[in-house]
Amino acid sequence: MSIKVGDRIPSVTLMHMTDKGPGPITTDELFGKKKVVLFALPGAFTPTCSARHLPGFVEHAGDFKTKGVDAIVCLSVNDAFVMNAWGKDQNAAGKVEMVADGNGELTKKIGLEMDASKFGMGVRSQRYAAVIEDMVVKKLEVEEPGAFKVSSADHMLGVL
């Protein structure tokens, strides 16, 4: 069963890049005591993710801040090195926090994993976006397989 509006984000440890290399960051640190837009996607450097999904949030980072969002978090079942390189490639620094769910722990706990084995990618995250306030899901938009609409930056700005 997947997470729904009103549910709490589980406490897990993810990874992100720090000045000293890859380091842990907890969901409590990411989502506690603030308003965060989380968007997740199947993989860094993949076509829709690189051409449309992440760039939309980078482009509209200021618009989210204007609407009271404290942080934007991009999550993928990739490692911290890949997420960091992708963030640099997409000029995300200072706009979108690039977070690695390398083992898919959070993705599985919230029930939004997908099997991309037929593409040689293993278990990945479904494409979705959520508004999380102090660890509680306030809005959740999960894409149909192969779609890209309701998890876009434009759509999420409209639901805030």
Asked, for residue 8, whether it belongs to a domain, the answer is no
Rg (the chain; Cα; Å): 14
Q: What are phi and psi of 114, to 5 degrees?
A: -140, 150
Asked, for residue 6, whether it belongs to a domain, the answer is no
Nearest to 160 by CA among 92, 34, 63, 40: 63
Segments forming the whole domain that contains residue 128: 13-154
CATH of the domain at 28: 3.40.30.10
Domain count, the chain: 1
Asked, for residue 61, whether it belongs to a domain, the answer is yes
Asked, for residue 3, whether it belongs to a domain, the answer is no
pLDDT score of 68 = 98
Question: Do the bridges between strand 71-76 and strand 128-133 make them parallel or antiparallel, or are there none, so unpaired?
Answer: unpaired
Per-residue pLDDT for 1 more than 80?
A: no
**What's the rounded Cα separation, in Å, for the pair 15 and 58?**
20
> Which residues have a catalytic role annotated?
49
pLDDT score of 51 = 87
The confidence band for 119, taking pLDDT boundaries of 50, 70 and 90, is: confident
Record the pTM.
0.96
Asked, for residue 33, whether it belongs to a domain, the answer is yes
The confidence band for 116, taking pLDDT boundaries of 50, 70 and 90, is: confident
pLDDT score of 49 = 83
